[in-house]
Structure 1
């Protein structure tokens, strides 16, 4: 039997090494382009009781938020474009609310909103109470509150309430919507 020449063994080893390197190279994966989200800005003003500027209101859309300044004004950039973007308004000690905004790419939408302080009343659950604001009345009868097990709740009840009257300018901005007609 004839022995293989030494140079043939070297060629075979080189060929095997090249095949090993080619199969070990990672496959080139195509890169995905960055997703571009069209955004706009929401700006506006928040008023409190009797239309006074309200500072420190948190204005948010999703996880994007800002605070109103001393004049009740805010600017919220980077809001995703949409025709019914839900804007949340909240401040400790006030009744929060929401408004819808139309956000267009590269544009600023303006919103004006009102937050009001609640009217509070504490009363005994066994007595009940009448809660009044202007001509509006809520009657809560005695023993109206029950525990999850169905038994009567006995103790003090703290009620917070506020009526918004759409005929009063001071209340009008608290309602969602644009109030526009055809």
Structure 2
């Protein structure tokens, strides 16, 4: 009996495997049928879609090419403007080189005058030093003259000689009045402003 039960238990297991195999076979058949025979759209729809695709692709390519052409046109304009600017700068540089050549010639012409001016400047500097020395000497000399004038104005104390022999009395003679007034000696000017 037990053997019979075991056989019965084995039968449903085999049927389950068979059912699974049948399901997988149906899926694979269905997939193979779909791949082998795809559902094709109608011929008119296919032509319309293809035409629309080509139109849009051509519009896209035209747009890309037009932006590229615009970039190249912009580069051409920039190059033209740059060329004109460099041409102007070249002309200015040529003019400056000619002007510098003229200035160099003029400088060479004036070079002897510059040397004379430098020599004159040295002479003037030496003359200024000489004038300064003369000025200092004049100030010292003026100070010495002022000192001499002051010493000349100081009163001198007379010194009396001491008699070694008896002094004889002079004979008095009558004093005559002079007919002309006696001139007094000139007094030195003590005002420093007039000096």
TM-score bucket (shorter structure): under 0.3
Greater fraction helix: 2
User: What TM-score does the superposition give when structure 2 sets the normalisation length?
Assistant: 0.24
Greater fraction strand: 1
